[in-house]
Structure 1
Amino acid sequence: MSLLRLSPSNLLSAVTTTPPESNRVCPRIHLKKKETSALTRQRLGFNTTFRFNTFQRQALRCCLSMPVEGPTSSSQDRLLYFSRAYWVSRSQIAWNVGAEDGSCYLYTSKSARLSVTNDGNHGIEGYDMRIKLEVDNTGLSENVMEKFPHIRDYRAFKVPMTLDVKNLLKCQLAVAMYKSDGKWSTATGLQLPGVLDELFSYNGPLGAFFSAEAEVSACIYEDSSGGDPVQIVPLQEFNGVWSVNGPRSWEGCYYVYEVSVYHPSTLRIEKCIANDPYARGLSADGRRTLFVDLDSDALKPEGWDTLADDKPALHSFSDISIYELHIRDFSMVFYSVTDPTVHPDFRGGYLAFTSQDSAGVRHLKRLSSAGLTHVHLLPSFHFADVADEKDKWKNADNQMLESLPPDSDEQQAHITAIQNEDGYNWGYNPVLWGVPKGSYASNPNGPCRTIEFRKMVQALNCVGFRVVLDVVYNHLHGSGPFDENSVLDKIVPGYYLRLNKDGCIEHSTCVNNTASEHFMVERLILDDLLCWAVDYKAHIDVSSQKLNQLHIALLK
């Protein structure tokens, strides 16, 4: 047992902070009447074409006049795989280069054709624009140094005020230094989060939500996997936000984004197939995002709307004591054998907590009577490395294992052989934070996971426990344009994941550090916390964040 040190009121104040109404781009989120659904995407200014499509790769659809070529094998070209300069604001670029005499130029290419040569007169070829940058002798501004303290000593360059920066950010970008004799010296790519935050930070609604507006344009799949889309409709962009309105009949259907975007990891325009970062429902294994209205009565167990009034009493914060458990393990076995007290269809899932006469629930009742107040659930969001469809799991042959000598190495070898294909994982491989894990549901497609997660919370409250959710916002399992578990790095490459001074992804938190210091990353985390708090009744319980010190500020 342990005492929880995070005040519920502190967490609630963090997740319920909302912008002034005058700053909301789409106040439709507050409307109660539901006639149509509206799909909104935040893109932060990259040159992308969003389409609903399958996860199968098809012909590239982008507005390029020439075919995209891969990067050359030149050792000089490898400099562009690094992004050692920072576009920190609309008016400044920071780069750790010497103060010797010379010139700095910004290069742009809409078709990602920049390459570095050894030609002293050119340095970089394949560009659409070449813009001279003057040294800013005043140095980096105070707000830039506060946001990026690790580059406070970098040299500052002025970005001409006449440039159309928003459109330039849609291109492949690089900067190059030339010596006083005009010969090329060095070059690198650019990290963009600073200027993106300044120009495209957004406080309006994101994801699929339901409103009373009636304009219709459909772009959906009827099925959770396979088949062709019912229709493909490009989203419309306004100041970095991409959206399309559609009919209420989209509810229960699926969608994905097809994003054509320059990706610095390949130096190419890539077609990325991605789920919605603001997904609230998924198909099995996260192949597609589900249109789901979490406020629909059909997704609420009986008594759900009044559950907040029936929560177990907590007279003092110091009374909190916590019991941690894993959703699957809670009901899969009992004294090393399959638990016969749980219905076979419920074992290892959310509904096992609703079996009031099972061995596990009887044990929880005894713990509650003994004074424990909270159940801490290991990660229950959508994570990688466990198939949502249980018939894909590989299971150990327990009878064979029991027949082996106690000192044999064969037991471990047998378990190791299937460890990446069984149904067990603690869940610290986050893919999408805002959707319950499908492998714990009786059906990973459709809205079952939402209904059954709510029934689990309700059942635990009835036993006498409040619910603590273990959420993991400091890293993501996938990255890059092709990883099936990559989402955010396909939508805005180089923004959602923290980069080091070379422009490579940091992995100190485990893998793929998330950059919560960037406006829209922090916004995504807080919106996700708000979803669990409001839509799954965790706001009256506690959301427990196993985060490193880089995320503590979010809870203040």
Structure 2
Amino acid sequence: MEALDHNGIWAFQGPNSWKGQYYMFEIQVFHPLTQRIETSLANDPYSRGLSANGERSLLVDLDDPQVQPRGWSELAMLKPNLRSFNDVSIYELHIRDFSIRDESVETSLRGTYLAFTSKTSRCVEHLKQLADAGITHIHLLPSFDFGSVDERKENWKSIDFKRLESLPPDSDEQQAAVVAIQDEDGYNWGYDPVNWGVPDGSYSSDPSGSKRCLEFRQMVQALNSLGLRVILDVVYNHLHGNGPHGKYSVLDKVVPGYYLRLNTQGEIENSTCMNNTASEHYMVDRLIVDDLCHWAVDYKVDGFRFDLMGHLMKSTMIRAKKTLRQLNVHHDGVDGSKIYLYGEGWDFGEVAKNARGENASQINLAGTGIGSFNDRMRDSAIGGSPFADPRQQGFLTGLYLEPNGFDQGDEETTRASLAATTDWIRIGLAGNLRDFCFMNHEGQQIKGEEILTHDGQPVAYAKNPTETVNYLSAHDNETLFDVIMLKTTRKVPLKERCRINSLATSIVALSQGIAFFHAGDDILRSKSLDRDSYNSGDWFNSLDFTYESNNWGIGLPPKDKNGDKWPIMRDLLRDEDLRPSKADMLLAKDNFQLFLKIRYSSPLFRLSRTKDIQERLKFHNTGPSSELGVIVMSIEDGITGQNNLEQLDLQYQTMVVIFNARPSSISLSIPFCKQRRLILHPLQALSSDLVARQSSFMEGEGVFGIPARTTAIFLEPRQ
């Protein structure tokens, strides 16, 4: 290589015959870790191809037709339609979970990129149905090169599933078998990045050479053909390796002490889990933005979800958004204006409170158009937090109304807590907008930003609705079904717990902003109560699209992350009355798709302007005399001669949504509705949920009758 003295760049140029050859950089540089000059062998930080396990970089031409599926160059023109980011609904999915146990997929394709091309498989059919119902984007857990799985499949160890299936549902033998090989099987979530710019080889049919590049593109193309855009989960906040000789170290070999964030003692910060990166440094920022453009242009990815985004600088995120937005179909083969960015805006560690510069936290991102996860809605609806006792209850799981025996205070305390945190859900339904005004549980007119969390932070932080990603479950922590099982009192029968699951997904589906769901939320997915299944193998993580099993009661989850809760879990897992049937799973699936279809049946559920949400969306049953456990939301459209609102919906002039989380049916009078001609939404009136179909409205009196644990959607047709 030659140093170009005038700009600090090292460069080399070779003949075309080098294509397909492997290479590495040999670097001599002082390394602060060892305090001496080290000679290191490093991969190219801008690698576009790799050998198996990323041992060497590969010279690959991504414009070569051999690594492009047929029709690849025209894909930008065939992308699923996306009118606005307000139309986005996301389904989060792990590539291996999706197909590894689906017998309708060819054996060699299970758990790989190419499983998504299996047009007649059950797993692909499930995605087709989701796309038809309204899901717009598939969020794929990390699929760049990561270090926790050996890419050579011949080295993988496996367990005897037949033997595990014969064991008791509360046995600890299943987890022991999984843990014994967990670092030698083919499973990991992949949040341990090594080479950001290359697809991981463990999901490819051949980890050596350029097959992984071709097959990743085939996956993107296949998902687009189903009507689904693709979001890549990116982990720019940390790296798997460091040091001059580490197997997984790349950037810390190239410029030691620069790419990784250091503390005042010169030690690497590890608040993310390991080897925090320093995006406040110019070339780290540049590498991140360059890499995003590479994935957008070369793999036609439609969005990015940023792991621990709050550990990146706000300036990096803004530059990324601006740079991606400038991409166009004519010059770059992609429409960058349709690429959505969102992530985890948690504010903690060495970057908290802007200690290293203004970071990409929830509050700091207001007004940028970049989304962040709304943990306020999650915690209030489900109860507690990911770091609290899993038995803490919330709006959906029985707080005050049906206590489970866990001490959350006396009756007065839990009543006050339910009333206060219900406001968190209300503001979430309104897009978690900081300036949204409504009457709170005390009867005061208040702005969203004036409601405070338990630690004094504003509940609402967004300036426009697309900055809010509403969710109740994700890959982290227990699944939605499992957390409901842990929090509801034992006397609640399984059928009612399944209704809570559907009620939960309806809150997300019918909220303003971005709707986000974890794969399996729609089919009562369980991981047998595992709170952190990142390395729990196929046994605890796989999905069953025959709907015969939701994976409940397949043994105690791995002891390392769950052992302290085993006494609670045993009692639940051994109870066969808590195991969902196929009929239960199918009803949950039908309800999930119903709520999505209702979301997309009217633009009123996807308002694009803060002004529209403030003028049109109202909450009823508020104030100190409100019926606890019930949220009533109305959304109005323009009505000639009655208001000055623009008409957005050609069919309906008013929507009224009632979320009844109470364990009993309610009769509720809403004065706002007294003179309205409301009917149950036609889709719900014909749904497979016979309980919800009993929801009623008495015209002229404004009285609703809503069954227990039911979401009912009423509308007023235009005259």
Q: How many aligned residue pairs are there?
A: 316
Partners in 1 of 2:134 and 2:115 — Cα distance?
Answer: 22
Question: What is the match of residue 521 of structure 1?
Answer: 284
User: Partner letter of residue 287 of structure 1?
Assistant: E
**Match in the other structure for 2:12:** 244
Counterpart Cα distance in 2 of 1:406 and 1:307: 47
Deviation readout 1:413-457 (Å, 9 max, x if unpaired)? 111111111111111001111000001111011110111000100
Deviation at 1:237?
4.8
Q: Which one of 316, 339, 345 corresponds to residue 554 of structure 1?
A: 316
CA contact (8 A) 1:377 1:470 kept: yes
The alpha-carbon deviation at position 316 of structure 1 amounts to 2.6
Could you list the per-position Cα deviations for residues 461-508 of structure 1 after superposition, in whole angstroms to 9, with x for gaps in the alignment? 000001111101000011011210000001110000001111110111
Deviations 1:145-202 (A, max 9, x none): xxxxxxxxxxxxxxxxxxxxxxxxxxxxxxxxxxxxxxxxxxxxxxxxxxxxxxxxxx
Cα distance in structure 1, aligned partners of 2:87 and 2:238: 32
Shift of 1:407: 3.5
Aligned to 2:43: 275
How far apart, CA to CA, are the structure 2 residues paired with 1:407 and 1:463? 39
Residues 507-518 of structure 1 aligned to structure 2 (within 5 Å): 507-518=270-281
Q: Distance in 2 between matches of 1:437 and 1:235?
A: 31
Measure, in 1, the Cα distance between the counterparts of 2:190 and 2:80.
27
Structure 1 segment 55-454 matched on structure 2, within 5 A? 234-238=1-5, 239-333=7-101, 339-454=102-217
Q: Describe the SS at the equivalent of 1:294.
A: coil
Q: How far 1:408 sits from its partner (Å)?
A: 2.8
Alignment of 1:483-502 (within 5 A): 483-502=246-265
Counterpart Cα distance in 2 of 1:328 and 1:390: 13
Structure 2: distance between partners of 1:546 and 1:269: 34
Task: Tell me how far 1:236 sits from its aligned partner.
Answer: 3.9
Residue 544 of structure 1 pairs with residue 305 of structure 2: yes
What is the letter of the counterpart of residue 306 of structure 2? Q
- Cα distance in 2 for partners of 1:292, 1:352 equals 24
- Structure 1 position 283, deviation (Å): 0.5
- d(CA) in 2 for partners of 1:531, 1:445: 21
Shift of 1:312: 0.5
CA deviations 1:231-275 (Å, max 9, x no partner) are xxx544534321111100000010011112111111122121110
| 1:467 to 2:235 alignment | no
* CA distance in structure 2 between the aligned counterparts of 1:469 and 1:436, rounded to whole angstroms: 11
Shift of residue 385 of structure 1?
1.0
Aligned to 1:155: none
Distance in 2 of aligned mates of 1:484 and 1:294: 26
TM-fit CA distance, 1:402: 2.5
Q: C-alpha distance in 2, partners of 1:535/1:406?
A: 46
Question: Which secondary structure does the structure 2 equivalent of 1:345 belong to?
Answer: helix
Contact 1:365 1:463 in 2 (8 A): yes
Partner of 1:204: none
- Which secondary structure state, in structure 2, belongs to the residue aligned with residue 477 of structure 1? coil
Q: 2:307 corresponds to which letter in structure 1?
A: K
In structure 2, how many angstroms separate the alpha carbons of the residues matched to 1:306 and 1:330?
27
Matching residue of 2:244: 481
Q: Name whichever structure is richer in helix by fraction.
A: 2
Q: Which amino acid aligns with 2:304?
A: S
Cα distance in 2 between the residues matched to 1:406 and 1:299? 46
The residue type paired with residue 501 of structure 1 is: T
Alpha-carbon spacing, 1:408–1:549, altered in 2? closer, same or farther (3 Å): closer
In structure 1, what residue type is equivalent to 2:69?
P
Query: Match of 2:426?
Result: none
Counterpart-to-counterpart distance in 1, 2:311 and 2:191: 18
1:311 Cα offset (Å): 0.5
The one-letter code matched in structure 1 to 2:280 is E
User: With CA pairs under 8 Å and 6+ residues apart, which has the higher RCO, 1 or 2?
Assistant: 1
CA deviation profile, 1:118-166 (whole Å, cap 9, x unmatched): xxxxxxxxxxxxxxxxxxxxxxxxxxxxxxxxxxxxxxxxxxxxxxxxx
Query: Are the counterparts in 2 of residues 279 and 289 from structure 1 also a CA contact under 8 Å?
Result: yes
3-state SS of 2:230 partner: strand
Taking the aligned partners of 1:385 and 1:547, their CA distance within structure 2 comes to: 19
C-alpha displacement at 1:332, in angstroms?
0.2
Secondary structure at the aligned position of 2:120 is classed as coil
Tell me: CA distance 1:407–1:549, structure 2 relative to 1, closer, same or farther (3 Å).
closer
Report the Cα distance in structure 2 between the residues aligned to 1:553 and 1:345, rounded to whole angstroms. Answer: 44
Aligned to 2:107, what secondary structure does the other structure show? Answer: coil
Structure 1, gaps ≥5 residues long: 1-233, 334-338
Structure 1 residue 547 displacement after superposition: 3.2
Q: CA deviation at 1:515?
A: 0.6
* Secondary structure in 1 matching 2:96: helix
Q: What residue in structure 2 maps to residue 533 of structure 1?
A: 296
Cα RMSD (Å) of the superposition?
1.2
SS in 2 for 1:400: helix
What is the distance in 2 between the residues matched to 1:295 and 1:311?
A: 20
Deviation at 1:300, TM superposition (A): 1.0
Q: Distance between the aligned counterparts of 1:485 and 1:305, measured in 2?
A: 34
Aligned residue for 2:103, secondary structure, equals coil
What is the percent sequence identity of the aligned residues? Answer: 61
Residues 236, 244 of structure 1: 8 Å contact kept: no
Residues 411 and 310 of structure 1: is their aligned pair in 2 closer, same or farther, counting only changes over 3 Å? same
Letter of the 1:553 partner, please give it. S
Superposed displacement of residue 553, structure 1: 2.5
Which residue type is aligned with residue 499 of structure 1?
Answer: L
Q: Aligned letter for 2:81?
A: A
Give the TM-score normalised by structure 2. Answer: 0.43
> What amino acid does structure 2 have at the position aligned with 1:312?
P
Provide the residue aligned with 1:110 in structure 2. none
Determine the C-alpha separation between the residues in 1 that align with 2:167 and 2:229.
43
Measure, in 2, the Cα distance between the counterparts of 1:408 and 1:517: 49
| CA distance in 1: counterparts of 2:4 and 2:282, whole angstroms | 19
Q: Secondary structure at the match of 1:245?
A: coil
Structure 2 SS opposite 1:270:
strand
Q: Quick one: distance in 2 between partners of 1:471 and 1:548?
A: 10
